[in-house]
Structure 1
């Protein structure tokens, strides 16, 4: 199994290591040399041994390129990142979830293999696997390992409830994700279980989190702040500090992807923050989102129109740029707005807020005046 991945990116080459966010940059000529050495079954060149040792303390002396390094081909377009909802089902029932109704459905394992092959052939280097809750999908272990074997650098977004399962933890130890992002809904069982509406959820999460920390996984905590747990914010922060893992805080709750407002009443007003002005994003240009059925959209919010990657393959992605451009046009309640240069949300996000009939203060600078 490869220890490193070599890939073209942005007019240069990158050497990446699964489980790490670091990289070694190469001139494109050096990358092409490495590709030739892999085909010739040659040993790793001296010019690469030193930088790899310095970056990751990995010794490639006398190792063959083909044995130690997976050399990837460039995709036909500019897509280097993607997210994949492996399913929408979840073992928690948070009222704040942006997915709304969470049906456990999607591609079978054969379809998942096809989708991952399309992502690889499209040039996806960094793949974020999410849900729903990805770890409860019966096909997750095989899908995760396939993505690793294809040379994708993986990030997981999870509630952490299944990390205590030995087969899951062993999988992530063997093929460590570059980042494991875990949602935190409280610092005590009473509060956590109230937010998630699942008795025993806190104990399962705590056990899995502690085991993941002990396993040395690269963890990033998302502290989800709502009215039900706002009194435990400092306790959640202290917990993260004691574990020695980084954390981020999220209090600005969105409507569901269906444009309904059920999650919004749970927001904790004192923790809401002003979004930075929207200056554009790579959605549909260098990044795409895939839902559980293999339908590609520009992002998890702008889901329509979409492209069936199972039916159309890589070529279908040529249309995403045009879709992105059309979705970013100011329409509906935003048409004619004179504050677009300082708008805090993208057009697809504004649309779901408008469909949910949310107060302007939740998403628009008009509501701050």
Structure 2
């Protein structure tokens, strides 16, 4: 198993340690030196020094292979991706943006193929998500292979399976870059009420304690709803008391199918004015894959998805064009005088419009009147 990873990233070359946030940029000549090193070559002196300075690792006397995994350049230029292993979940959260959550996805052969496609596309950072990825029967194998292929893995989870010995074993053996865990309440009543699963709060607490003991890189995503709005400080304390970082999430979204019924869970008091949307790399250097290997520009803009199982990595050559088309201000946004300072992308605005959501949730035209009422 490699201790360090070297990979092209856009116009630079990165030196990383799997499971850690520290890293360094390498000049092209150093990257070329590593890719051209002969079989059995030792770790060069400059890299021994850098590894000790940045990561505290002693690589003296070690062979370059397998100590350092050097990723090859990709002509496709995709450096980040997210992968929904399975939409199935052991919760039934009242705010879930997925809507229907069927237990369905690729077999193991298909998943191996998809991960190799991601590697060939140049993906360095991959997010494993769901549904709930940790209940997927192939999660350990997917996580391990992504690591072995030279990807920095992040995971989005509800934390309910973190105390499972098999899950803990794979996460401590192949440490993720980040483990983002959603928290839905600081009390059993609010948490179980939001997930609509009795006992989910107790599983969450057990998972958090196990992750803390294993020193996993957890970040809590504090999900604020009408149900738990008076528990925000207590949920934040769940993170700070364990030494976890945290992010407070307050703006609910319609489902990916444009169903607005989930918006009733929004805490109007906590609805936050979004920053101006100035563009993103969706479809150009980032893509999303659903459980069947269909690539879209992101989790929100899923129209015109590309079947990677049928087309392979070459299919991604069309995704940039799809992204540019989906970002056009059309439909209900055509001719808007405020579009230059809009706070949401076009795919997200489309979902709000399909859901017939109040303008104040996503559009400046109704924001002040409806949010401050």
TM range (shorter): over 0.9
Alignment of 1:272-283 (within 5 A): 272-283=271-282
Alignment of 1:327-346 (within 5 A): 327-346=326-345
Q: Specify every segment of 5 or more residues in structure 2 that has no aligned partner in the other structure, as ranges.
A: 369-373
Contact 1:12 1:31 in 2 (8 A): no
Deviations 1:9-59 (A, max 9, x none): 23332111110122121101111101122x332101111111111111111
Q: State how far apart, in whole Å, the 1-side matches of 2:101 and 2:9 are.
A: 36
Contact 1:8 1:28 in 2 (8 A): no
Which residue is equivalent to 1:223? 222
Moved more, 289-298 or 19-28: 19-28
CA apart distance, 1:368: 2.1
Which residue is equivalent to 1:351? 350
Which residue is equivalent to 1:161? 160
Which residue is equivalent to 2:371? none
Moved more, 100-109 or 348-357: 100-109
User: Aligned with 1:106: secondary structure?
Assistant: coil
Q: State how far apart, in whole Å, the 2-side matches of 1:10 and 1:280 are.
A: 17
Alignment of 1:31-42 (within 5 A): 31-37=31-37, 39-42=38-41
Deviations 1:321-347 (A, max 9, x none): 000000001111100001011100000
Q: State how far apart, in whole Å, the 2-side matches of 1:8 and 1:359 are.
A: 44
Contact 2:42 2:61 in 1 (8 A): yes
CA apart distance, 1:205: 0.7
User: Aligned with 1:13: secondary structure?
Assistant: strand
Contact 2:6 2:71 in 1 (8 A): yes
Q: State how far apart, in whole Å, the 2-side matches of 1:209 and 1:105 are.
A: 28
Runs of 4+ in 1 over 4 A off after TM superposition: none
Which residue is equivalent to 2:294? 295
Deviations 1:70-95 (A, max 9, x none): 11111112100000000100000001
User: Aligned with 1:223: secondary structure?
Assistant: strand
Matched positions, count: 368
Which residue is equivalent to 1:149? 148
Alignment of 1:7-156 (within 5 A): 7-37=7-37, 39-156=38-155
Moved more, 135-144 or 14-23: 14-23
Moved more, 227-236 or 132-141: 227-236
Q: Specify every segment of 5 or more residues in structure 1 that has no aligned partner in the other structure, as ranges.
A: none
Q: State how far apart, in whole Å, the 2-side matches of 1:354 and 1:139 are.
A: 37
Please report the TM-score for the alignment, with normalisation by the length of structure 1.
Answer: 0.98
Q: State how far apart, in whole Å, the 1-side matches of 2:46 and 2:141 are.
A: 36
Deviations 1:144-192 (A, max 9, x none): 1011100000000000000010000111000000000000001111111
Instruction: State the Cα RMSD in Å.
Output: 0.8
Q: State how far apart, in whole Å, the 2-side matches of 1:286 and 1:9 are.
A: 10
CA apart distance, 1:6: 1.0
Verify: 1:265 aligned to 2:252, yes or no.
Answer: no
Which residue is equivalent to 1:4? 4
